[in-house]
């Protein structure tokens, strides 16, 4: 039996545009079932740079990112 089920990509926001945020963003952007919805960092230049690399949006606050996107999940990638 052939069942044609269309998988919708999960839209994920990454908080943190540093080293770990970059790694998570790459994994999400290249994932078969995920889409990098936005990158959030208080350093807007870093957020814009990372978002541009993966054709995403940049925000300086999580509230802004959540308000402007239909988001399925958030990855917090910040310094421990």
Query: Most distant CA pair in the chain: distance in Å?
Result: 52
Average pLDDT across the chain, whole number: 92
The structure tokens 């978002």 sit at 51
Give pLDDT, residue 2. Answer: 57
* pLDDT tens sequence across 19-58: 999 999 999 999 999 999 999 999 999 999 999 999 999 9
The rounded percent of the chain whose pLDDT value lies above 70 is 92
| Dist. CA 63–CA 73, nearest whole Å | 13
Q: What pLDDT band is residue 4 in, cutting at 50, 70 and 90?
A: low
pTM (predicted TM-score): 0.88
């Amino acid at each position: 039996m052939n069942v044609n089920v269309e998988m919708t990509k999960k839209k994920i926001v990454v908080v943190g545009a540093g080293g770990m945020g970059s790694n998570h963003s790459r994994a999400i952007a290249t994932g078969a079932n995920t889409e990098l919805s936005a990158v959030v960092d208080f350093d807007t230049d870093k957020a814009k740079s990372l978002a541009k690399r993966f054709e995403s949006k940049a925000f300086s606050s999580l509230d802004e990112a959540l308000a402007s996107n239909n988001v399925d999940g958030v990855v917090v990638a910040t310094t421990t």
